[in-house]
Amino acid sequence: MFSRAASWRPRPLTLGLAATAIASAALLRFDPWAGGPAAPMIYSAQSAARRVFPELSEPALARATITLTQAGQPPVALVPADNGQHAVLVGDAPLGPADAEGLAGLWSSLRMATTLRAVAEDSPLGPARGEIAVEVDGRRQAVTLHGAASDGVGDYGTIAGAGTWVVEPELAAALAQPASAWLSRRLVPIEASEAAAVRVGPLELARGADALWRVVAGASPHILSEPAVALRLDRIVAAEFEPAPAEASELPVSPWLEVQDRSGRRWEVRLGPPCPGQPGRVVVDRGAGTRGCVEAEIDAPWPIDDPDGGLIEPQLAPYAYGRVLAVQMEAPAQRRLRRLGGGWVVEEDGALHEVAEPEVFRWWTTLQQAPVELPARPLAGFFAEVDLTIESDSSQRLRLRCGPADGAPLACRRDEAPPLVVAREEPLALAFTRETFAERRLLSFGTGEVRELEVLPGRGSDAVRQSVRLDLGVWRLDAPVHPDGAAALDEVRLEAMLAGLQAARAEAWTDRPLTAPLRTIRVERTGSEAATLELHPDCVGHVPGQPRAALLPKSTCTALADDLLYSDPLRFWLGQARRVELSQGTRSATATREAVEEATWSTSGDPTLLAGLTGWEAFRSVRLVQGEPRGEPTTAKILRPGAATVTVDVGPTIEETPAWVRLRGADWYYAAETAARR
């Protein structure tokens, strides 16, 4: 086979094709006509737009001078003023302070202004309409605006050093604004909340280091209400300023308003006579610039010493608890209450006595929120029995001197102001001792510790024993036995009772009662002994084993005297019922409906029994009572789909609602207020 292959010879055509292939490969590899390497094709997702004022930044506004020059008109310049704001100048004449919001909007438009497209060299631009120039730190940028572009999408603008472009039409709109459009329409370009000192006519006010407004001159040196001062001051500084007629420039004006902010900037306003041709408005002069007219009401007097003026701070000591560092008492005895570490101590005779922080909080909150008001006539016979100096987290101190006065059981002087009446019915304990801040809580436990709660009636009481337990995060009713089980338990009342037990504190200590308690409330806790509180008449609480009893707050006593079941059982049962069967002696009646959602009942039987049914849903229990109720009952069998049938005895109707409701076979009943009175 190999000898045959050796005898083969390639044909001339094969040799020619092979030579052509070799030559083609050589040309591809060594192409003498290729030139340099081919550049890759690059696509750009960006437009040809550029910023008109590329060097402007947001913080540069405070240093920027903006000049808007319309063709044939004097330039309008917005220049930085001495008080950190801008002023409007027309040519070299000052017009007044610039509107802060309008200036911020203009600056934002200039910073973000961009070109829309390039312009051919031979495009007719039209006459120049004006120029917008911005100068910051000696660097000037400008654009000259011409006519509208041929395609209507913008205006021709020549950017200094960057040629001609079609720019956004917002620039032309800004250029076309009159000078008065940039003028502030607020009488004073400041918010009322930023003011630190104010003089209005003869009245001078100033914020202290504690941020409270005080009268400095022109009236009694009272502490003023922050919202009341802010409201009146805002009416002044935000008064609408309108440029006055030319003849107003010759009218006499006198100093009237001076406002200073926290950084020391000042604004002064002079007040003049009525504005020419504008009744109800007066002339004002803001200094450099044109005069204006504002409503004459801004010059209304401030009724500092008027009891109906509403300007006096209504709280006796308007310091939040967290701001108070110490209270120095000089009378009736010398003591000092101050913070130490995370708590409070009383300094007395050189010794430190630690006191309960919750009691300090309650004492201060009561003192702080005590309402005060101006008397109808100055108080005579004022005698200070208590002298307190309050030290806050500022360098300012507040001195309170309180005592009786003629016609007022308690009056107080704040600093050097005239006495104010303390409008509080309950006695206000201002003087303090160590005993004032002694621990007064009767029980101490956390909500998460409670596992069972039991309410036991007192000896000889007709109350009902009630008991609940916490099972897997759900409260279960153990007593009294109820067909609805836990659904009969009002957890709002339960939580209120637990909160009352936790908050139970002695407003005053008293002797331990010798009589049996009305009820005993017992709380079983996880890993601890049970907490028990006995509730006696007249809101007296006693912890067994303690030598003294405590007078409880009325709100606590009300929560502890409540029951744990819902007070409207009939409404609940009737809301689930499809059929109610009534009977009394030989009489009977029936009420049915197709579905529990329907409000209409189909009735049959004795109309007298059915008439009483209308007031059942309004029944509200005021207490649970052990024993036999009075009056002949109506028996009701309430059939509820998906729930147990309930049979109850309903007492006679008194004042359109049943007097009582008792579950059939139970030895207790729900008593309405009418039955409880009987």
With respect to residue 471, please indicate whether it lies within any of the assigned structural domains. Answer: yes
Instruction: Answer for the pair 312, 225: CB distance below 8 angstroms, yes or no.
Output: yes
**Highest mean pLDDT: which of 17-21, 36-40, 93-97?**
93-97
Distances (CA, A) of 82 to 16, 79, 190: 95, 10, 15
Could you give the C-alpha distances from 70 to 90, 91, 171, 229, in angstroms and in order? 12, 12, 12, 44
Q: What is the Cα–Cα distance from 298 to 664, expressed in whole angstroms?
A: 75
Which one is predicted more confidently, 4 or 507? 507
Q: What percent of the chain has pLDDT over 90?
A: 60
Residues 178 and 266 in one domain: no
- pLDDT tens-digit map of 407-446: 899 999 999 999 999 998 888 999 999 988 988 888 888 8
Q: What is the distance between the alpha carbons of residues 543 and 530, in angstroms, rounded to a whole number?
A: 11
Q: Is 18 domain-assigned? A: no
Q: Which residue has the tokens 């086979």?
A: 1
* Same domain? 360 vs 419: yes
The residues, ordered by sequence, that sit 6+ positions from 113 with a Cβ below 8 Å of its Cβ are: 51, 52, 53, 167, 168, 170, 171
What is the total residue count of the chain? Answer: 678
Cis geometry, peptide bond prior to residue 480 (ω within 30 degrees of 0): yes
Task: Provide the β-strand partners of residue 402.
Answer: 386, 412
pTM: 0.69
Which is nearest to 165 in space by CA: 131, 129, 217, 125?
A: 125
398's tokens: 């507040």
Structure tokens at 367: 């003192």
Q: Dihedrals φ, ψ of 215, to 5°?
A: -80, 125
Q: Mean pLDDT, to the nearest integer, of 114-139?
A: 86
Query: What is the tens place of the pLDDT at every residue in 169-218?
Result: 999 999 999 998 999 999 998 899 999 999 999 999 999 999 999 999 99
Residue 41, pLDDT score: 39
Could you tell me the CA-to-CA distances from 166 to 49, 107, 117 in Å, in that order?
10, 20, 5
Q: Among positive and negative, which fits the CA dihedral 187, 192, 194, 198?
A: positive
Check if the beta carbon of residue 477 is closer than 8 Å to that of residue 468. yes
Last residue of a domain, one of 409, 437, 465: 437
Residue 310 lies in a domain: no
> Measured between alpha carbons, how far is 540 from 408 in angstroms, rounded to an integer?
31
- Together in a domain, 581 and 547: no
Q: CA nearest 208: which of 370, 318, 367? A: 318
Least trusted range by pLDDT, from 116-130, 161-175, 300-314, 485-499:
116-130
Could you say which of 373, 402, 437 is where a domain stops?
Answer: 437
pLDDT for 27 = 72
**Whether residue 676 has pLDDT greater than 90:** no
pLDDT, position 148: 85
Domain edge (last residue) among 390, 416, 437: 437
Report pLDDT digits (tens) over 578-603.
999 999 988 999 999 988 788 788 88
Half-sphere exposure of 548 (CA within 13 A, CB side): 12
- Mean pLDDT for the chain overall: 89
Report yes or no on 177 lying in a domain: yes
**Enclosing domain of residue 483:** 447-560
pLDDT value at 4 more than 70: no
One domain for residues 290 and 211 = yes
Q: Report pLDDT for 40.
A: 45
Is residue 3 in some structural domain?
A: no
- Do 287 and 264 lie in one domain? The reply is yes
Given a cut of 80, is residue 54 above it in pLDDT? yes
**Average pLDDT of the segment spanning 650-673:** 91
Residue 24 lies in a domain: no
430 and 453 share one domain? no
Q: Examine the domain organization and report whether 426 and 535 are in the same domain.
A: no
Is 15 inside a domain boundary?
Answer: no
Q: 3-class DSSP state for residue 519?
A: strand
Q: Which amino acid is at 611?
A: A
What percent of the chain stands above pLDDT 70? Answer: 95
Of the listed ranges 146-150, 264-268, 269-273, the least confidently predicted one is: 146-150
Round to whole Å and give the CA distance between 338 and 351: 13
Count of beta carbons in the 10 Å neighbourhood of residue 483? 17
Say if residue 517 is exposed, middle or buried (CB neighbours under 10 Å; 0-12, 13-18, 19+): buried
211 dihedral zone (left: phi>0; alpha: psi -120 to 50; beta):
left
Backbone torsions φ then ψ of 653, nearest 5 degrees? -80, 125
| One domain, residues 150 and 199 | no
Token pair 């500022």: residue = 394
Instruction: List helix spans (H) across 94-193.
Output: 100-112, 169-175
Q: What is the phi/psi pair of residue 131, to 5°?
A: -135, 140
Q: What pLDDT digit, counting tens, does each position of 298-308 carry? A: 999 999 999 99
pLDDT digits (tens, 9 = 90+) for 336-390: 999 998 899 999 988 999 999 989 999 999 999 999 999 999 899 999 999 999 9
- pLDDT band, very low/low/confident/very high, at 678 (cuts 50, 70, 90): low
Q: Are residues 62 and 175 in the same domain?
A: yes
Long-range (24+ apart) CB contacts under 8 A made by 490-498 are 490/564, 490/565, 490/566, 490/567, 493/562, 493/563, 493/564, 493/565, 494/453, 494/468, 494/564, 496/559, 496/562, 497/453, 497/521, 497/559, 497/560, 497/562, 497/564, 498/447, 498/450, 498/453, 498/523
Taking only the tens place, the pLDDT of each residue in 450-477 is 999 999 999 888 999 999 999 988 999 9
Q: Which residue has the higher pLDDT, 6 or 137?
A: 137
Q: What is the DSSP string of 487-499?
A: GGB-HHHHHHHHH
Is the pLDDT score of 666 beyond 80?
A: yes
Mean pLDDT of 221-228: 95
Please determine, for residue 45, whether its predicted confidence score (pLDDT) is greater than 50: no
Do 70 and 176 fall into the same domain? Answer: yes
pLDDT band of residue 44 (cuts 50, 70, 90) is very low
CA distance 431 to 198: 36
341 located within any domain: yes
Residue for token pair 């202004």: 113
Q: Are residues 606 and 663 in the same domain?
A: yes
Domain count, the chain: 5
pLDDT score recorded for residue 287: 86
Q: What is the pLDDT of residue 561?
A: 92
d(CA 534, CA 240): 67
Sheet holding 86-90, edge to edge: 93-97, 86-90, 76-80, 64-70, 130-136, 139-148, 155-159, 163-167, 115-118
601 and 556 within one domain:
no
Single-letter residue type at 153: V
